[in-house]
Amino acid sequence: MNRLMSSVMRGIGRKRRCDEPGRHSTGVDSSSSDDDLDLDPDFSPDSEELRSPVAKLARIKRAAAAAAAKKRRKTSTAKRVSKSKASDRRLTRKSAVAADPADNNAGCRSVSLDTLPTDVLLRIVEFAASQTGMLSLAASLSQVCQRLRHFITVESPRCYSTALWRNADFSRLNRKLSTAQLHSMALPRFPALSSINLENWKTLRDKDVEAICDKYGDTLSEVSLAGSDHLSGRTLTCLSDRCRRLSRLSLRRLPHRLAHGQLFTQLLQRHSDSLVDLSIDSLEGEIVGFGLLLSGLTAKPGALSRLHRLRLANLRSSSLRDSALDVSALAASAPNLRQLELANLPLAGGLPFVWPDCRLSQLRHLLVQELPSPFRLTVSSAALPSLSSLSIVATDFDLVDDLSSALQAEVDDTGEKSSIQGFKGLRRLAVSHCTNADEADTLAPLLLLMESGQLPLLDEADFTASSIFSLPGGGDRLAAALASLPSLNELNLTGTGVLLPAVRLIASSSGSLTKLNLTACKCLPRGFKQLLTSRQSIAAWVAKAETELD
């Protein structure tokens, strides 16, 4: 920078001396040397840049920036060379260790895909296919290397068709492939298809489903047709007649042309000995003959002995006549039912899960959500001895009152509580969005279960938007009962009227609590409505609450 300034100032001096009378314009100063003139090869005494101080300063800054960039390039090059030399030294040391036969780590060397055994490669591809689907995985792996391309295109379809090419998930390809490409390009890769997922295929027609059933009817066992707008009753008839091994069927967000109870009854009758999972959810329009669907589920004892999961949700019917679900008949028809979900259904009557009329010894998960008012639900531990998850969401309080009556009835006249033994396996309890004002009787059985030590395994409790904590004296008793639970890990009190002392009692007394949701709690002070996700955050919250209360 100093040399550049010196060169500029000497040039200005020469310009002035050349302009004096008696001096030639080509003259040079005797004090200037050739070395000084070579410092700026682009220098011109007549340059316009020398007439402006701003231009001179800009020129100086550009020269300084160029010098700094050149220095950075040299530093970067030196670092790269240093890293390369260090890497070479590490490789040399590893090679020396691997070459030593006396070293125990001599066998820890990298293995190429070309030398990897086919069985090991098969296991790797099977795991990846279970995450993304075999078709999309094949398109990606075939571009990695020649070994994987040969395995995907030649070895696996020919030798491992039953292991890899049996589950087809086309739900993510609905916008990339047409139905013609589905039949001509995608499906021929699957020689023995057992599961197919065609969710959100808006262009799927009845003839497409019939072609799939004709080709894979002997092996197809799982079908998902959610969100297909152009299907009709022909689809259900085709699935009933041609898919002989159908075990899992998911029908969600389908048009009203499928919504006929007689078609579902026919499907249940033909696949009663193989059906394991049935989900009917969000059918458009009203179901004609909804009672026929319910009667098909309770046709005869043992008819659905293999059924493990049943979900009926978001179905509509114009008439509630003969729309009652006979729980005792359902228990006799599907004795091995493990998961039952009933949500937003036009049901009449109630669901009396009461011993000895009803017993589902294998039922582990029960969800009852948004059933019409008035609706009666009765839950007995003797009828559901294996129940591990009970969820009552957005229901009328007749349901919860009947639940309390049923639980209270199991306590004998002497006041002993030993008869409530079946709920010892309960791990999740949800009584959310229950906002009936008359809830005093509802609190009694919950307190009875918690205070008597009959919920030793309860891990998660959800009271979202419930008015239980708003009852006079009820919040304190329930808080003490929750604090006494030995295994409580997650507690959701969102939108409740719980008070600060009650929450402090729960958070400070429960030694296993790791997640506490207090968002939108209207009775808590500002700054305490938080989502706490660790023991440390809960401890900090308790300390803050104690300071606030003091």
Report the distance separating Cα 492 and Cα 531, nearest Å. Answer: 9
Report the distance separating Cα 294 and Cα 1, nearest Å. Answer: 92
If the chain, 550 residues long, is cut into consecutive pieces of 10 residues, what is the mean pLDDT of each piece? 59 53 44 42 51 73 86 78 66 52 49 74 76 69 75 62 72 82 82 86 90 90 86 86 88 70 81 88 71 79 90 76 78 92 82 78 90 72 85 62 45 41 80 62 68 84 84 79 91 91 91 92 90 93 89
Query: What residues does 222 pair with on adjacent strands?
Result: 195, 248
Domains assigned to the chain: 117-163 (no CATH), 349-410+417-549 (3.80.10)
Residue-wise DSSP of 99-131: H-TT-TTTT-----TTTS-HHHHHHHHHHHHHH
Amino acid code (one letter) for 359: R
Look at residue 518 in the predicted model and tell me its pLDDT.
94
Look at residue 178 in the predicted model and tell me its pLDDT.
86
In sequence order, what are the residues at sequence separation of 6 or more whose Cβ sits closer than 8 angstroms to the Cβ of residue 444? 404, 408
3-class DSSP state for residue 333? Answer: helix
Look at residue 103 in the predicted model and tell me its pLDDT.
47
Alpha helices in 154-225 (DSSP H): 156-159, 179-181, 206-216
Look at residue 289 in the predicted model and tell me its pLDDT.
66
In sequence order, what are the residues at sequence separation of 6 or more whose Cβ sits closer than 8 angstroms to the Cβ of residue 373? 396, 398
Report the distance separating Cα 215 and Cα 58, nearest Å. Answer: 78
Q: Helices H, strands E: what count in the chain?
A: 18, 16
Look at residue 420 in the predicted model and tell me its pLDDT.
41
Contact 304, 330 (CB under 8 A): no
Dihedral pair phi/psi, residue 492, rounded to 5°: -115, 115
Look at residue 93 in the predicted model and tell me its pLDDT.
58
Report the distance separating Cα 29 and Cα 10, nearest Å. Answer: 9
Please calculate the CA angle 475-481-487 and round it to the nearest 5 degrees: 130
Q: What is the pLDDT of residues 107-131, one digit of tens each?
A: 445 667 777 777 787 777 777 776 6
Q: How is residue 247 written in tokens?
A: 């075990």
* Average pLDDT score, the chain: 75
Which residue, among 377, 325, 387, has the nearest Cα to 354 in the 3D structure?
A: 377
Look at residue 521 in the predicted model and tell me its pLDDT.
92
Dihedral pair phi/psi, residue 79, rounded to 5°: -65, -45
C-alpha distances in Å from residue 306, one per residue of 62, 111, 261, 266: 82, 46, 21, 17
